Amino acid sequence: MSDSRPDTPSSGPDDAAEAPTPSAVSTPTVFVLFGATGDLAARMVIPAFGALAKQGLLPDNWRLIGNGRGHQTDDEFREHVKGVLDKAKTGLSGRQWRTFSASLRFAGGGFTEADPGDLADVVAEAKDDLGSDDVQLVHYIALPPSTFESYTKALAAHGLADRARVVYEKPFGTDSESFERLDKLVLSIFPEERVFRIDHFLGKEATQQLHVLRFNNRMMEQVWNRYHVAAVQIDIPETLGVSNRAGFYDETGATLDMLVTHQLQVMAEVALEPPVDSSPEALLEAREAVLKDFRPMSPDEAVLGQVEGYRDIDGVADDSQTDTFVAAKVWIDNDRWEGVPFLLRTGKQLKESHQHVTLVLRRPQTRGFGERPPRPETIAFSLAGNGTVAATVTAQRPGAPGDLVPGSLLLDLEDLPRAEPLPAYASLLRDVLAGDRALFTTATGLREAWRVAAPLLANRPPVQPYAPGSWGPEAAKEIAAPHGWLAQHSLES
């Protein structure tokens, strides 16, 4: 390892920029980031640390230790982190970067039950640097799910689990059986209140707007049921491919990477009954309660796809059956949602990227004044960025009696005063610091999600090929019949 003091960056924003406000977190904290030089850490986790640093939300005294199989000096790791933050356009000033980078360390040599590599020694040094016996240790396992058991055992074997918090990336398990085995192991080492199973979609402020807008606006509250809603679509197509993380992705696929981990949780956020109060704990309880009403998925109501060329990617088997696309229909057996299909779609290398929850409204019962447009009225919520709410309406074209045309009412939440949300990963890291698990999935909630997905995972339909840049397999259109996938017709598309 090199000297712990970083070099001054050769260039950067104005050093005179105002330093961030002091952190509200006073407990000295040591973060350990497993997979620190990997794709997930570069895309999500390290930029989240940068965002917290920019807003002064990191602890007053902290260290971030990157861990990996290879060996790097502290300064080499700092250069890596600086490159990641520059690419993410985090916007740290020169002064902020020097303060931030002084807390970065690297521990190479891997980490196993038999051999901790450099990590145990570097953690001990970091605690000594912080000069306190009361140090909060936080482990972030940003690695494929196949590693979770071995790394958890290694944390216990080397005395790094005591009083520590641990963050697991998704998916937490790969089926019901592996989930139960992993959960049993984790809870034999960490108490539940110190386990953070991440779902960054729940950390999105735009996702949290779903219950805020629903329960604070009468016009939405009144239609939020089967009497007014014909279908609900949770649509998360991506133009992004998987070439940079093919090894991870081929272990999971779209169903595990997105549907089980994210979309069922967002579905619960949409479908939950009114919480007993406005506390985060009550919201979590309501979300988990409605998951128990989800009917197990039928393979006959699901379509799996694989984008053409996927098997040519390095790290993917020539005969891989991994799904890069899934569309499925899910039902909820309770009074509010009986008979309303929830339609979930996600996939890689599709025509567009967006993240929408769309309530498809039933036709009005009263007789119309003209021929209505073919598409139904909707209330659509974008989960990207600050979020957007768009309600389609039917109106008469001025000067043309009886000529009905669709219109839209749009609220861009970025237009609200002082709208400065944290990125989802930064928001969730802040909650880890505070010990707030309201936006994380509990063992109970995940157990229900695996129960719902179990029939599909046990009897997977064959993957159907689709062209890059398309909307996926043609058969997926039938999942959303008779309305079709409506988010692709929204104002953002």
12: Cβ–Cβ under 8 A, 6 or more apart, which residues?
92, 93, 94, 97
Q: Residue 200, annotated ligand binder?
A: yes
Tens-place pLDDT, residues 67-101: 999 999 999 999 999 999 999 888 788 899 999 99
**CA dihedral of 110, 112, 115, 120, whole degrees rounded to 10:** 70
Query: For 300-322, b where at least 16 C-beta lie within 10 A, e where not — what string?
Result: ebbbbbbbeebeebeebeeebeb
Compute the distance between CA of residue 442 and CA of residue 172 in angstroms, rounded to an integer: 10
Whether pLDDT at 235 is above 90: yes
Average pLDDT over residues 468-490: 88
Compute the distance between CA of residue 485 and CA of residue 99 in angstroms, rounded to an integer: 48
Give this prediction's pTM: 0.83
Average pLDDT over residues 476-491: 80
**CA dihedral of 454, 457, 459, 460, whole degrees rounded to 10:** 150
Whether pLDDT at 371 is above 70: no
At 476, which amino acid appears?
Answer: A
Q: Residue 158, annotated ligand binder?
A: no
pLDDT category at 420 given cuts 50, 70, 90 is low
Q: Give me the CATH code for the 202-422+447-489 domain, please.
A: 3.30.360.10
Whether pLDDT at 63 is above 90: yes
Whether pLDDT at 373 is above 70: no
Tens-place pLDDT, residues 196-208: 998 888 878 788 8
pLDDT number for residue 1:
43
73: Cβ–Cβ under 8 A, 6 or more apart, which residues?
1, 2, 106
Average pLDDT over residues 299-319: 94
Burial class (CB in 10 A: 0-12, 13-18, 19+), 483: middle
Tens-place pLDDT, residues 21-51: 444 557 899 999 999 998 889 999 999 999 9
450: Cβ–Cβ under 8 A, 6 or more apart, which residues?
173, 175, 176, 179, 260
Which range among 158-172, 241-255, 335-349 has the greatest average pLDDT?
A: 335-349
The helix or strand, by DSSP H or E, that contains position 271, with its residue range, turns out to be helix 264-271
Average pLDDT over residues 48-58: 93
pLDDT number for residue 396:
79
pLDDT category at 385 given cuts 50, 70, 90 is confident
pLDDT category at 442 given cuts 50, 70, 90 is confident
Whether pLDDT at 173 is above 60: yes
pLDDT category at 17 given cuts 50, 70, 90 is very low
Supply the mean pLDDT for the chain.
87
Whether pLDDT at 183 is above 90: yes
At 407, which amino acid appears?
Answer: G
Q: Residue 170, annotated ligand binder?
A: yes
Q: Residue 375, annotated ligand binder?
A: no
Compute the distance between CA of residue 52 and CA of residue 25 in angstroms, rounded to an integer: 12
Is the CA virtual torsion 161, 162, 166, 171 positive or negative? positive
- Closest by CA position to 463, among listed 302, 236, 251, 239: 302
Q: Terminus-to-terminus CA distance in the chain, angstroms? A: 49
Q: DSSP readout, 183-218?
A: HHHHHHHS-GGGEEE--HHHH-HHHHHHHHHHHH-H
In the chain, where the domains are located: 29-169, 202-422+447-489
* Separation in Å, CA 283 to CA 165, 262, 336, 340, 439: 22, 17, 17, 22, 9
Q: Give me the CATH code for the 29-169 domain, please.
A: 3.40.50.720
Beta pairing partners, 394: 406
pLDDT number for residue 21:
42
Phi first, then psi, for residue 42 (nearest 5°) are -70, -40
pLDDT number for residue 416:
72
pLDDT number for residue 10:
37
What are the respective helix, strand and coil percentages of the chain, to the nearest 5? 40, 20, 45
Active-site residue numbers?
Answer: 262
Compute the distance between CA of residue 309 and CA of residue 190 in angstroms, rounded to an integer: 42
Average pLDDT over residues 149-165: 96
pLDDT number for residue 116:
95
* Furthest C-alpha separation in the chain: 80
Comparing 11-25, 54-68, 75-89, the range with the smallest average pLDDT is 11-25
Could you say which DSSP state residue 174 is in?
S
Q: Residue 69, annotated ligand binder?
A: yes
263: Cβ–Cβ under 8 A, 6 or more apart, which residues?
201, 234, 236, 344, 346
Whether pLDDT at 374 is above 70: no
- Closest by CA position to 122, among listed 7, 4, 40: 4
Average pLDDT over residues 237-249: 83
pLDDT number for residue 221:
92
Average pLDDT over residues 177-191: 95
